Structure 1
């Protein structure tokens, strides 16, 4: 029925109605699904619509606006929370044998270890990480150094994860020795150790729009990107790159490849989808050294003076301003080059000529504050009166603390005039070489044409590869959905099995009740067809139950005068509250004449209506 109604809408109408549905969820419920792949997203929404009996997206939107429970059901259907302990065991073996030992070896004893399980669902992945790290470090060291941040957008799943309580089926993948060490049996369930659970912090985080957790050593984000479209994937990967500490490791699902993000991540193990953070351009040694200098506690007498003298004596012009653009430090070279003095310390940078001459600095400073990234301004020429022009390369470096808070900005002016002269000389030489190689131009053009054809072929192959990757992600999404449906079918099957057992028990009880009644008990429906024929009837009339049930009572070859009983039956068919009694002359199964007392009352169904007549027969003489 639903399918025929949906066909009434054109594809365009259905798409627009679906987009309206997504906008409502975003504006009224605070969750933005618009970055998800439309094919799988629409398939999951229609799956829920089929379950709830809705034909069109407009009709379903009306229901969502009126029912908070239905929104929760849709949310759980779209967010396929398929997870388990040690899912994809080979990947977890690589974490245990390679990633964690390397991570610990690269850090000093006592350094904190920060791990992020993004899209943690009901927590099995986060607790798997906890077990692997506790095994590698020992429980005491784990409690002291490790923080595992586990996030998801599903509040119900997070609530379940915080309980850390799982049934026997959920822990089947946990090795027996780990199950004994890290879980406590409580009322037939398995609860993760409370002393280690404190290191696992659960919270809601939307990867698409919420700020990422920072300085993460190991980030696990499996089977999440494959639900997102290409633009949203790029946005999320930028956040994940920012979240990782230098040389931090990212683990993705086996359908997620990062084919076009080599500038941000380098493969560590492609088979199991491990990637290492690639350095961002501008993240140079100078920035990290400045940040470390500002964070370190000055616990040795005289170090501040040495640092001040070193800063003053630096041959490179440098100015340091605070977060509110107040000049904090000027070295001697900067004073000489730009005509500054110690009196300028404490003034706002914008009040000094150096803020806009030789180049406008203020926009670059604002960008460094917002993005917390270094910037280079190249090829800056400054012509001083009566002097040769000078060329600068200016570095604008944000000075941040351990929490990524802005302390100030360092502005360094590198004099590259000599380098520039060398470059000019090289350019001149190149021009001479270009003249010498004019005869090869024709050959170069042919090579360029061939190269263009090869490039076109490469691009086509890359496009095909991207399409295959997208198809692989879609197949993986469908696999997740099938697994979720399989879990639902198992639950329904268990319920049906329980109901079947209850029905068998009820049937056995009714058969026992019929057999226990020594009187003849028969039930006929309104067509006078026999529905019940107990053992008392068999003994009285000599006709087995399988010979009587389903036959018309007047057609049975027994010694009961049905004509004498018929008025009693007709009365209860008319008035379901009526009862009747009569004593009739009959012939029993042995062919002997006997008197039989017949009691008749209505047989009531579930709706209390009379569905038939119940006859009790007793021999009286």
Structure 2
């Protein structure tokens, strides 16, 4: 059935509106023929024929959204898919693109509709082969986007089966992938040049100043009107000499006014001469003309206001070069005027107290402000706590021109919050004591009332009551003495427990081997000095972090299955010999012993990992 033959019902359109409002997925621009077919296929799988009933199911079952989106967003991809087009890209397009740019110019690539990442990593391999690995890592940034979060999560892992990498030549596979037992992992040093993020081609703002934009066999799912809007965004995204690489199933005959073919057969396009897109047409209004002398005064006022701001702040340009640093930032983080003009990567603040570059790249990609809470920074006067705000600076033409990084000192607020919590805790304890005293007073009052009544009856009973009270006082005194004795014993036991903990800590510190203890959630509970010496991570940086999130030279993918077995089996023990990179960046062989951390009930409460660097063979 052709698209023009499809007559979707009002209920179907209402369901599309519900998907857009509830989950932010706008499928109204998709071709109705394929969209109807895929939605109905999913409805048949759950035995529902009415669209309103299906909306009811979506409202009560959040997991159904995932199944529906996976049915609609069919991600068909592979490494170097359509080999002839990739050969043309490798031998003609990329060499020409690199020849037009200087040896120090940055190369920005956008892989739109990246699915599970095969096309993105194909681009990375192709560019690394053409430029050399060192130049690639220094100059190339690849932005890979998709609307499917599940596919993006798979792409971020950069791990593929033997069947999935079968389309990669053997020599290229050996150079760019590290083989594990059953999987192939893309090289980590090259993976750092790739940023994955969610981007809806129909709704979200495009990434700008792109030298090479690939979007293969994605436009064919959209109707003609939506295709035109997406192509306008691509035109805006391309740099003046930028290139657009499409799939063979897509045509651009109706858009020759803004894009012209470099090779129509291979679907490679560039901007048409003197072409403009609607996204690039902006008008500036409402700004008064300021005389030059007043502009100088205004500029001086801005500089003074920025420099004397009580909040630490620095500003970067679009290439992550430092252009402004105020007085507070210089004082707090040891910066100086000489750091202005340096790349952010050359400054310590790029890595401590928080890894800024990762969050800056995310803010650029998503073009939204980010907030990082609970950032701790130690200086001479003690620890400080910051809330870091990263804000993209966008011009009136919607072009990213820089990044503002602001450090809000929240140490006083944290101190007040801690004091408030402590005060609330003490008030709660005092209230409980008061309530207990009140209950005792009520009980005593009843006893006194009874005693008064007895006194009115006979003096002899009063004497007897006095004797009983004396006996009770003696018993209470004896009980108090026993409680004091118990408190003394508990205090002694507490001191013994502190000594035991100190003894265990000294054992871990004194061991020459690296020792790591993880709990059942694989979060690090102990990280001794031997582990610090091996991997260069301080104890406070490693503890309470997930083992697999640690940035060390230890091959975590190979250790992960062994640790999981230790968490599942209290009797499990294993020994591995692995190739790793120590804190000095040297290749070493490390002997790893892993066993379960058994609790009193005989079950596994965690895992103990002992690491020893082996001497190289003579």
Give the TM-score category using the shorter length.
Answer: 0.3 to 0.5
- In the superposition, the TM-score normalised over structure 2's length comes to 0.46
